[in-house]
Structure 1
Amino acid sequence: MTRPSQLVLDAVGTLARLGLAAIWLISGALKISDSGQTYIAVKAYDVLPSGLVSPVATALPLIELALGLLLLFGLGIRIVSVLSILMFAVLIAAIAQSWVRGLSIDCGCFGGGGQVANGQTQYPQEIARDTGFALLAVWLVARPWTWLALDGWLGRGRGNSGETGDDYRVIAEGNQ
């Protein structure tokens, strides 16, 4: 039988998964809809050799959309969450280095991006926001069991009963 605390944790995990999926899907869709602006945003960070700016600007929204879709459907939640943490770490590092170097750019995290007027940057808010998003992914790494996830239906969730996290751990340990 499922305990009330288990239901609350499952609900929190589901909201974290769907929230993170929405973040990646919105970010990726906005970037892919204006690939020229995404190129400008990536170039504005001034860290990549010119030959890598275009491939990164092309790949970034595709990676974000893939992460978003996998999370939306609940497929590979723990692995996708680890990848999300890595992506957020790279994005936070990119924003931080721009701040330290005195660049005046918009991060382009949700479309747009590129040069902005001096004093118009929002580096602390962008870093705090991305840190918060990364914490959602940390939650899902620690506790990937959520409702309406393909992982559970494919036997990679908590086990067939879907009642306890302990079932998942037993299955995971048995597959090693």
Structure 2
Amino acid sequence: MSRAKRLGAIAASALVSATALCAVGAAPASASCASDVVVAVSGKYVFLWDGVTWWHDGPGGTITGQVQQTRTISSTISYGADITMSDLISSVKASISGSATNSVATTLGHTYTHAIPSNAYGNLKYGAWGYNVTWKKEYRHSNCTITVLGQGTGTVPTVATGWYYYSTSS
């Protein structure tokens, strides 16, 4: 075989091989996905006040607060929610914080003192640290399309309780 014919055969073989490689990497004509229901959450870390324990004092000096009654701070979810509280808590634990909980009780007798600037009023509130969350529940079809089943907001406390201090001008 002549040198020109051998080079031509090699080039033709390389072209056939490259075409076969491209065909192997090509996307199938119809995609397939696993059907599943997914709850996605995002959140912002915030203080969740117990709704009762609050002191206001000043101007200046010190402010001292003491928890005199045990209160429970519970998770909340937007009205008409299409998910259960258990789904929300599980999603927050998996995606945001493992210390998320459905509810937490405040600690009876917990005392805290804070200095107040001379020209300000001090405020003390007691509660839990947790998350303001937004959630979305989706159904992912086998053809890879997504249907939103519901979305909303909620609050989820963590096991951390404590004081929140802030100053005001009056």
TM-score (normalizing by structure 1): 0.24
Instruction: Kindly name which structure, 1 or 2, has the bigger radius of gyration based on alpha carbons.
Output: 2
Greater share of residues in helix: 1
TM-score (normalizing by structure 2): 0.25
Greater share of residues in strand: 2
